[in-house]
Structure 1
Amino acid sequence: MSNAKDGDAVKIHYTGTLDDGSVFDSSDGRDPLAFELGSGQVIKGFDDAVRGMIVDEEKTVTIAPENAYGVASDENVITVPPDQVPPEMNPSKGDKLQLMAPNGQPIPVTVVDVTDEGVTLDANHELAEWLVKQGMPFRTAHHRVGSLVAWCNDNAKPMNELTLAEMQISVPEAKEECTQLFDPVASVNARDIFGATAPNQVKKQIVYWQAKLDEEAGE
């Protein structure tokens, strides 16, 4: 019986758990996960674990974050103090806004909480947002999307060209509607709040600033 090697098409059943023993993903009740070993279709630690196995072999491995979905970080979630929130904005949970990075790069964010202490913004990917709304823990969603982004980078695949099957390699829970999350036009239109990118919001800003310029020109 031969051992699994790079280039082989393999099918496996698996259960993924966190350090506390809680299950974050499993093929239980589903078809086995099928992929080409060593092709980058799964996280590196998964490839490494399966390489050398034989049919019907079982094993337990611990995969380091750098060989999985990356080290979890809360850097993409920030809380803006109330005095730094424009009074005309009046944000609500679920609103999609846009921040501006120092280099001028727009950063789409989602309002995840509004309290007396400020407005909490999440700048993680929209697919991660979708997974969280389905009930997945934030850290798990962040890891899954990180794996998908890595797969796209390794395979030179633009995210807006992903098929559902390709998306499900890293995010088995993904549904057909998720493929629309990567559509640039849909993403722009979804941010329909003060200062954001939806066309009607842009038009409002144009009208506002044109009026300001006309006012200054008349002084």
Structure 2
Amino acid sequence: MKIAKNTVASFHYTLTNDAGEVIDSSDGREPLAYIHGEGQIVPGLENALEGREKGDKLNVDVAPAEGYGVKHDELVQVVPREAFQGVEDLQAGMQFQGRNDHGAINVTITKIEGDQVTVDGNHPLAGETLHFAVEIADVREPTAEELSHGHVHGVGGHHH
């Protein structure tokens, strides 16, 4: 069976950056399972997996526009430390949920200088080319329940 819209695909992967550093991997874990065509993985990788089948191995380079997006400078802001009331020990790398004109936004603290805290609302991998080494572990039909819920159940997927 080939990966196509509304099939359940499971795959092992290693994700690296341009420097070859491992960002994420399924090594030692169950393969990642998703319903193809539902936008559950980055578009560039999903497009590259279309038509593949169990046992296929491939390397996929995903440009920022097809991954986690381009970096938007306007999402980097300096805010006063008092915006983080109740948090005693602020550190770079901490993540918080905030709000902007478009609703909820996740931000990461990138720098702290005195009472000024720099936060970045871009995804941590925005602007990065993603390099995936992939091995397709399985391709199958989804269950009716998986389709109605919009996600995979069981091993490598969602458990209720």
TM-score norm. by structure 1 comes to: 0.43
Percent identity, aligned pairs only, is 30
Instruction: Figure out how many residues of one structure are paired with residues of the other and give that number.
Output: 122
Residue equivalent to 1:57: 56
Aligned-CA RMSD value: 4.2
Equivalents in 2 of 1:23, 1:16: separation in Å? 6
Determine helix, strand or coil for the equivalent of 1:49: helix
| CA displacement at 1:75 relative to structure 2 | 3.4
- Quick check: 1:94 aligned with 2:93? no
Q: 1:106 and 1:37 mapped to 2: Cα distance? A: 27
Unaligned runs of 5+ in 1: 129-138, 144-164, 170-219
- Other structure's SS at 1:3 match: coil
Q: Name the residue aligned to 2:3.
A: 4
Structure 2: how far apart are the matches of 1:5 and 1:100? 37
Q: Is the 8 A contact 2:105 2:121 kept in 1?
A: no
Q: Which amino acid aligns with 1:8?
A: T
Alignment counterpart, residue 122 of structure 1, candidates 119, 122, 135: 119
Q: 1:106 to 1:65 in 2, by over 3 A?
A: closer
State the TM-score, normalized to the length of structure 2: 0.56
Distance 1:3 1:100 in 2: 41
Structure 1 residue 18 and structure 2 residue 20: aligned?
Answer: no
Counterpart-to-counterpart distance in 1, 2:51 and 2:13: 16
Aligned residue in 1 for 2:75: 76
In the alignment, is the contact (CA less than 8 A) between 1:109 and 1:121 conserved in 2? no
* Structure with a larger share of its residues in helix: 1
CA distance in 2, matches of 1:43, 1:106: 21
CA deviations on 1:54-101 (whole Å, 9 max, x unpaired) are 211100011111111101345333346xxxx7xxx6x87639xxx997
Which is bigger in relative contact order (C-alpha 8 A, separation at least 6)? 2
**Runs ≥4 in structure 1, deviation > 2 angstroms?**
72-80, 91-95, 105-112
- 8 Å contact kept, 1:94–1:110: no
Kept after mapping to 2: 8 A contact 1:44/1:67? yes
Q: How does 1:111-190 map to 2 (within 5 A)?
A: 112-115=111-114, 119-122=116-119, 124=121, 139-140=124-125
How far apart are the structure 2 equivalents of 1:40 and 1:108? 20
The aligned counterpart of 2:145 is: none
- Once the two structures are superposed, residues 135-167 of structure 1 have per-residue CA deviations (whole angstroms, 9 ceiling, x without a partner) of xxxx34x68xxxxxxxxxxxxxxxxxxxxx9xx
